Structure 1
Amino acid sequence: MKTIDTIIFDLGGVLIDWNPEYVYTDVFNGDREKMQWFFDNVCTHDWNENQDAGYPLRKATEERVALFPEHEQLIRMFYGRWEEMLGEAIEGTVAILKKLINHEDYKVVALTNWSHETFPIALERFDFLHWFEGIVVSGEEKTRKPFKDIYELTLNRFNIEANRAIFIDDNLRNIIAAKDMGINTILFKTPEKLEEDLKSFNVKL
């Protein structure tokens, strides 16, 4: 294995906590079964990911309301109250990021599935997002993980050699896609485990 010189971070679930349950738990009065049905059938993960690839939030909302008019109020909450779904920074990972940023040996960038319409909110809230050499935002590129083109774009934009980079993500599907591109990977579980995994690649912290 070549010496690692680049670390690529995912953001949501690795550095930033985001969860629609922060809004809908109260809306459904704590009825987790009803809430899960709504996420499985109406405002689904796949539907939200389509907006991560650049689809307009307003258009997506109106289309979903047309499909499920009886759930109009709940659907409009998804992006109407999106900022309330944004939790706090995952401080243990931010501490690791800071060490890597301060280390001259590493280029540190981010690759995130995120709507270009909501990402400015995160940029304003979290100072550490400005530490990266650059961030590839799926919504701006009109594609997303796990599609091959967004990994290629990231490698090319920042002049990264795949076998000298580590990609950190909390989604196994995205990790598998990066591995297929020849990128070293770490499936994120906790900041403590991330530190161990980075050291296993001889990354200096």
Structure 2
Amino acid sequence: MSSIDIRHIVFDIGKVLIHYDPQIPYSRIIPDEAERSWFFANVCTHDWNVEQDRGRSWEEAEALLIEEHPEREEHIRAFRRHWHEMVPHAYEDTVALMESLIAEGRDVTMLTNFASDTFREAQKRFPFLTLPRGVTVSGDVGLIKPDVEIYRTHARTFGLDPAATIFIDDSPANVEGAQAAGWHAVHFVDAQRLRADLAAYGVQPLDVLDGVGPAVATQA
């Protein structure tokens, strides 16, 4: 058993607790694969979307792209309009693990790169996102992972001791950001691996079912 005293467990959300894939609606909106790849590489890019996670409004974000690509207006507006399709289900096994940790009385919070409005929409569709003690949403604080300041902000907000905190994220860069802030952190692959990683830190959650499928989102 680890000699490290873990008292705080912090979950990322996208691709840890809920699935996220913008290709889902766009495979219908732009059926041609080459054209769709071009669109994501040149119009609604990852870097463009990250700025909404940092707090930029969708209205401003859409206006910037429409000015540059007026012929793509409908495709650009479709990103927010069809966002709900990009998050089709939860990872039920990871959710069950998180719920078991909360049921044990462990201190569980969440830290996520998420636009403010879409996060509130996600909470309505996935009520388990209201169960942890609290959440830091990048769009609310104007900071994004892996900026070390967002981890420090989260720790201050929720009174976390960094040396007693473990963070779970699917992005290696975000894991490294947490470590730079003095946290312990693990790279999320799947729930089975996460249980093993937590056990290595002396955190033994209650047994949860293995091999369960994705949870169906509740409707807002």
Q: Does 1:123 align with 2:130?
A: no
Letter in 2 for 1:146: P
AA aligned opposite 2:45: T
Contact 2:169 2:187 in 1 (8 A): yes
Task: Within 5 Å, give how 1:148-159 maps onto structure 2.
Answer: 148-159=148-159
Structure 2 residue corresponding to 1:18, chosen from 2, 17, 20? 20
SS of 1:54's partner is: coil
Length-normalised TM-score, structure 2: 0.89
Residues 26-61 of structure 1 deviation map (CA, whole Å, 9 limit, x = unaligned):
1222x3332222111110011101000110111100
Q: Which residue identity does 2:55 align to in structure 1?
A: G
SS in 1 for 2:19: strand
The amino acid that maps onto 2:7 is D
Structure 2 match to 1:134: 134
Equivalences for 1:176-195 in 2 at 5 Å?
176-195=176-195
Q: Which amino acid aligns with 2:152?
A: E
Note the residue ranges of structure 2 that are not aligned, 5 or more in a row. Answer: 206-220
Count of residue pairs the alignment pairs up: 203
Q: Tell me, in whole angstroms, the C-alpha distance in 1 between the residues paired with 2:61 and 2:167.
A: 30
Whole-Å separation in 1 of the counterparts to 2:194 and 2:35: 34
Cα RMSD of the aligned pairs, angstroms, is: 1.1
Identity of aligned residues (%): 37
Q: Report the counterpart of residue 5 of structure 1 in structure 2.
A: 7
User: Secondary structure of 1:186's partner?
Assistant: strand
Q: Give distance in 1, aligned partners of 2:126 and 2:141.
A: 22
Structure-to-structure mapping, 1:29-178, within 5 angstroms: 29=31, 31-104=32-105, 106-178=106-178
Query: Which whole-Å CA distance do the structure 1 matches of 2:36 and 2:48 have between them?
Result: 16
Q: Distance in 1 between matches of 2:161 and 2:69?
A: 46
Task: State the AA in 2 paired with 1:4.
Answer: I
Answer yes or no: is the 8 Å Cα contact 2:11–2:110 preserved in 1: yes
SS where residue 118 of structure 1 aligns?
helix
Write the distance in 1 (CA, Å) between the matches of 2:61 and 2:137: 19
Give the whole-Å Cα distance in 2 for the aligned partners of 1:32 and 1:168.
33
Matched-pair contact (CA < 8 Å) for 2:4–2:201? no
Q: Secondary structure at the match of 2:159?
A: coil
Task: Summarize deviations over 1:101-153 as a string: whole Å, max 9, x none.
Answer: 0112x210000101012111111111111111001011111111111211111
Instruction: Name the SS of the counterpart of 1:55 in structure 2.
Output: coil
Instruction: Say if 2:9 and 2:109, in contact at 8 Å, map to a contact too.
Output: yes
Q: Which runs of 5+ in 1 are unaligned?
A: none
List per-residue Cα deviations over 1:47-100 (Å, max 9, x = no partner).
101000110111100111111112111111011211121220110100110111
List structure 1 segments (4+ residues) > 4 angstroms apart after TM superposition.
none
Report the equivalent of 1:201: 201
